[in-house]
Structure 1
Amino acid sequence: MTQPLENRIALVTGASRGIGRSIALALAKAGAHVVAVARTVGGLEELDDEIKAAGGNATLVPLDLKDSDGIARLGGALFDRYKKLDVLVGNAGILGPLSPLSHVEPKAWDDVMATNITANWQLIRCMEPLLVQSDAGRAVMISSGVSWAARAYWGPYAISKAALNTMVQTWAAENMTTNLRVNLFTPGPVRTRMRAQAMPGEDPNILATPDQVAGKIVELCLPSFTETGKVYSFQKNKLLTFQQPE
């Protein structure tokens, strides 16, 4: 039976754990060759074992996304090997400090912005030429409901995700006449390490699992999904425009 992403190349950042790991595994099960990017080698190797056990295949890329030159080299390597990229899932992100803005140290601020914004901008720069070579390029960037909430003490994370929203909307508008479709995905509360860090007293058993979220993200990566410049809210289970915040 033909798989929906057979013979397609999918790059996933933050692929060694949490939602990223589940996305990578789900894309592989759908037939994609997964280029799995993360800082943690051990986590990538465990993911590779899972993908192989499911009958899929992957290329492992140990890379800190704050290494802009490393992202550029990855883009060049993908061009040399495949001449295209069919799917990009920008999942990697960090929470940063949960504290008043006036208490945030400059290094902590810079780390959040470098990972959550600048790295994704560099991915756009280096992967767009490959994505537009696909007959149905798809990009999904992972945002957060707090990007619209202006919630106290969530400043660096919420601000970085709000900037990501505008960047993705701009990118989608710039590609209206190409085969590339670009969307955001807000997972809501999910059973991940980051969520536990942010909400240490919360019962994880009441939350959605990364595997449940990943299934919906795969739908946005299919050639048959043609919406662009939208936000898919997993919590609301619907596609929103940028003018309809969560």
Structure 2
Amino acid sequence: MTEPLDLSGRIALVTGASRGIGYFLAKELAAAGAHVLAVARTVGGLEELDDEIKAGGGEATLVPLDLTDMAGIDRLGGAIHERWGKLDVLVANAGILGTISPIGHVEAKTFEKVMTINVTSTWRLIRSVDPLLRASDAGRAIVMSSGAAHVARAFWAPYAASKAAVEVLVRSWADETKNMPLRVNSVSPGATRTAMRAQAMPGEDPQTLPHPSEVAAKVLPLASSELTETGLVFDVRRDRFLHYRVPE
């Protein structure tokens, strides 16, 4: 029987923590003993998360933050440095779908918002916390991607392009840090019972999909100090890492 993951004394940052996979992954991290820094725009969702974490004996710090606030992301890194001097786990989960539309019909403001939230803010977050993760004896970065990054499906161009960009950012970051204790991976969660999935597939029966708590439970081991993989994509549905490698 696998021993429960022990994250006692660890500091974990989760974006998009007010709902969906981020919400339940924050709960899983707290239940494993980590102090969770829960980041989201929706204060009500953060407060509900905080209540549940405390009810389970865990600890959290709530960070209401819109990830379009790039200076706010920079300040977050500084605040973590001042209080803890390190970060052990990053879960970059926040993202938006945009619109499912022919590429020629996508409005400029929609495309720009998808890229700002899904790509630019993820890069800004990485830049802000990279020194903090390096200061940990076993820093772990978990960045949410999507199977859409590998399938050039009609009408999904902005979202798919944003997730492909994120995966390349993660792989480059992993290559930079491969000789350090830091491990950096992307996650492809697959179809999950979330609000974003309902927006993308309005006619789908959500009860046929895994609950986000199930996905979170499978992603949690990527926060383990025993993890050796880096620069890969963890496919939740297959429950294994995938190697997307380009020949040199």
Q: Is structure 2 residue 96 aligned with structure 1 residue 94?
A: yes
Alignment check: 8 A CA contact 2:5 2:221 kept: no
* CA displacement 1:154-191 (0-9 Å, x = unmatched): 11100000101111000000001211100011000000
Larger mean Cα displacement after TM superposition, 136-145 or 232-241: 232-241
Write the distance in 2 (CA, Å) between the matches of 1:238 and 1:125: 28
1:237 maps to amino acid: D
Write the distance in 2 (CA, Å) between the matches of 1:235 and 1:165: 18
Write the distance in 2 (CA, Å) between the matches of 1:27 and 1:212: 14
SS in 2 for 1:165: helix
Write the distance in 2 (CA, Å) between the matches of 1:13 and 1:34: 10
* CA displacement 1:90-127 (0-9 Å, x = unmatched): 00000001101111111101100000000000011100
Residue aligning to 1:58: 60
Shift >4 Å, 4+ stretches: none
Q: Is structure 2 residue 34 aligned with structure 1 residue 9?
A: no
Write the distance in 2 (CA, Å) between the matches of 1:237 and 1:124: 25
Write the distance in 1 (CA, Å) between the matches of 2:242 and 2:6: 24
Q: How many residues align?
A: 244
Q: TM-score, normalised by structure 1?
A: 0.97
Write the distance in 1 (CA, Å) between the matches of 2:218 and 2:88: 17
Write the distance in 1 (CA, Å) between the matches of 2:158 and 2:87: 31
Write the distance in 1 (CA, Å) between the matches of 2:222 and 2:19: 20
SS in 2 for 1:134: coil
Larger mean Cα displacement after TM superposition, 42-51 or 2-11: 2-11
Write the distance in 2 (CA, Å) between the matches of 1:20 and 1:3: 18
Write the distance in 2 (CA, Å) between the matches of 1:93 and 1:51: 23
Q: Is structure 2 residue 178 aligned with structure 1 residue 166?
A: no
SS in 2 for 1:71: helix
Q: What are structure 1's unaligned runs of at least 5 residues?
A: none
Q: Is structure 2 residue 222 aligned with structure 1 residue 220?
A: yes
Over the aligned positions, Cα root-mean-square deviation in angstroms equals: 1.3
Residue aligning to 1:43: 45
Deviation at 1:243, TM superposition (A): 3.2
1:150 maps to amino acid: A
Write the distance in 2 (CA, Å) between the matches of 1:2 and 1:9: 18
Deviation at 1:238, TM superposition (A): 1.3
Sequence identity of aligned pairs in percent? 59
